[in-house]
Amino acid sequence: MAVYDLIHFENTLMVIAENGLYQYDYSKVEVIKLLSKLSIATK
């Protein structure tokens, strides 16, 4: 997955990638959880 940008705020990490926007909870670094994914369709 190609990543364009990472944005962190408190215990949340947003990852902007070629196929969507991902949001992760990293409050426990040993167990990083995917909170949501917003897919971006490509033509």
The one-letter amino acid code at 22 reads Y
Domains in the chain, number: 1
pLDDT digit string (tens) for 1-30?
A: 889 999 999 999 999 999 999 999 999 989
What pLDDT does 40 receive? 87
What pLDDT does 30 receive? 95
Its domain, for residue 15, covers 3-39
What pLDDT does 9 receive? 95
Tell me the sheet residues that pair with 5.
16
- How do strand 12-17 and strand 33-39 relate by DSSP bridges? unpaired
Name the band, by pLDDT with cuts 50, 70 and 90, for residue 42: confident
**Would you list the DSSP string of 14-37?**
EEEETTEEEEEE-SSTTS-EEEEE
Answer whether residue 38 shows pLDDT above 80.
yes
What pLDDT does 36 receive? 98
